[in-house]
Structure 1
């Protein structure tokens, strides 16, 4: 599916507030912006969005790809309501005013120019001459570099003089289909000129036919965006433009124009361009043809890795019991019952038994230990202490965290400190709901889980 640059620009002018509202999304106004309820760190304004938690933003097409899981072409279609152009079953004819220049009966002059002047290896030269993507023009013996569409039909041709500096795009050429090689792999290498593309293949020849290579015919984006639209299998793009200001600026611009989901790297040639590297190859003793490789100019969103624990890695432990099989040490035990059925009485008698070492029915003997008892329902002096005395508790071992200045919650650091500072082995919260915190919903398991 293919969209023109005009259609892409139209999609990126879409009003995101209107789009989200049309999708039933809830927005809250915040000054001149709107905050999206589904992602409260994200704000939209006109055709721009910004996610403050990640310090990133963009336009409508990026937005749909980032948050609605759309491909580049799906995003443009949804925003514009227009279907992209697709080739009909029969291969389309080239533009009516486009004609390839007549061929010379031989390609000897072009071969000499490529192999001797430009130092392109004979096997690389021969491959593209045999495919018809490079040939010799009859009238002036220029080298012609042919660009084809996905169906193999010529759509573009560039003439390069074999002597002097003559260069010319053939009339009617569509720069969306520039000189290229289409492999089946997931990597695309992008160059300014066909000669640089050929030079790169000579320098990095191993299994080169598995990947794809594209010449832009300058630094424009048209051929690149079309190639990516036609080849959605491409996952990684290597920008191999010239090592100069124009090449560097173009790379920065192209990165912004490419759809999300791609990984983009920058390969800077050792010299000004790849053909200079090829022609001066003998000077490079260590075979390092790349001046600098800049990785990660663009990266697809990284899916968060779920941390997994394998049971084979878990150490087996023995449960230590306070009262087997009802109350283990080191875990939370909930005593449930209707009002008036004796939950508090039971808790106080349990505390008394722990502080004195006396046993409850079927309880194994344990040395006395300290207990922390917190209550939000009964008075310490009129209810708790008298009941502890009735249960013959060791009152010196029953401790209460003072809540006079600040109420206690389960997230309060005073609980841990009180346990460690006083050697307590049991803490009783009566009732536990009173210590959840006012913002905790008792009906949400994830909020009450310790």
Structure 2
């Protein structure tokens, strides 16, 4: 160990998706997994700030590989609707033969494009025809080789997976196939609907080996309003999978601000104190302030907030 040089983990989206490692995103069919990764890809292709972060990043090249949806009629329209720079999002042509995780074309794509993110959707389509996803001795070598590629090119690899139907089981055991998928991944995210508001989908951190688990993030997905990021959401993985409910801290913060400012400007400290008493963090409160376009002004030694004039 004295000959090993220590290094810090580099992050695509802290603390959810590390560079140089495998991340799994899983959930029941129809919960919005593909929508989530395409929205994320759109932001990354433009170098835009990621959900619940403030700093813009450098735009990156992305390889998005899917065996479930058509590129022409489904994937590209979704990317365009999300405002993606489609010149930075590529895929490997499978007309000459199906792609697998062990395929040399995957490493060739990394070398030629300099992609910093590869998304394989879904996992089972890219294992290879001779690999049984329920056998650990067959899964481990495939995932170890894939992990090696991620590390060599400092590229984040995201695998999209479905959940099994074992209701009531711990989240760790609800992924399809061998538990070695979850064991090999350094981060596992689960997407599910909120029971009493199915238009709200939550991204919850089920496993985090390289950083503290992140606070859940929510988005809205509905026919009328399309897609919208909602910010942090206070619900655990197991509560999400068992149909639990919880009000979004982001929504609580917005409701609090609107209620306190409805009659005019209020001292900033009073809003901070009330939010703290409700368990709302300053980060969530600041995001709510930004969402509502609240104006700040200084008077004497204090800052005051007010809602924008309509």
Query: Would you say same fold, with TM above 0.5?
Result: no
Higher RCO (Cα < 8 Å, 6 or more apart)? 2
TM-score range, shorter chain: 0.3 to 0.5
With normalisation by structure 1, the TM-score equals: 0.30
* TM-score normalised over the length of structure 2: 0.44
